[in-house]
């Protein structure tokens, strides 16, 4: 395993599209194949926008600051998910602040 640093963040972001919710996905026409997007790398290498990027652009246009998406990593369970934010910073609507109470990462 490569050296790594685990960090905790305080996140206050909304609205965030919850792609784990089947009713929410259905309401905006999001498919699992768009989320899984197994061809993203080859599509990008061909100069095309992969379905996941097209989806992200649709959600951005709809005013979403991010998306909760199931993890498709090998060994991930239905409980595992990722928060994807398009843009973030120290202020709302997508506030992300590093928690470093002991000042080790300054």
- pLDDT band of residue 2 (cuts 50, 70, 90) is confident
Residue 26 lies in a domain: yes
Residue 80 lies in a domain: yes
Residue 106 lies in a domain: no
State the residue range of the domain holding 34: 8-99
- pLDDT band of residue 32 (cuts 50, 70, 90) is confident
Side-chain-side CA neighbours of residue 58 (13 Å) = 14
Alpha-carbon gap, residue 16 to 31, rounded angstroms = 17
The C-alpha angle 52, 53, 59, rounded to 5 degrees, equals 90
Residue 89 lies in a domain: yes
* pLDDT tens-digit series, residues 3-19: 888 899 999 999 999 99
The token pair at 20 is 């784990």
Residue 51 lies in a domain: yes
Tell how strand 81-85 and strand 16-18 pair up. unpaired
pTM higher than 0.85: no
Q: In what order do the strands lie in the sheet with 81-85?
A: 16-18, 66-70, 81-85
Residue 74 lies in a domain: yes
Residue 105 lies in a domain: no
Residue 37 lies in a domain: yes
């Amino acid at each position: 395993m490569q050296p790594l640093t685990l960090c905790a963040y305080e996140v206050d972001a909304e609205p965030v599209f919850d792609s784990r919710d089947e009713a929410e996905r259905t309401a905006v026409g999001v498919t699992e194949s768009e989320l899984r997007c197994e061809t993203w790398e080859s599509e990008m290498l061909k100069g095309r926008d992969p379905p996941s990027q097209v989806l992200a652009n649709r959600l951005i246009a709809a005013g979403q600051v991010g998306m909760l998406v199931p993890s498709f990593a090998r060994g991930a369970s239905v409980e595992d998910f990722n928060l994807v934010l398009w843009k973030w910073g120290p202020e709302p609507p997508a506030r992300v602040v590093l928690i470093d109470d002991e000042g080790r990462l300054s």
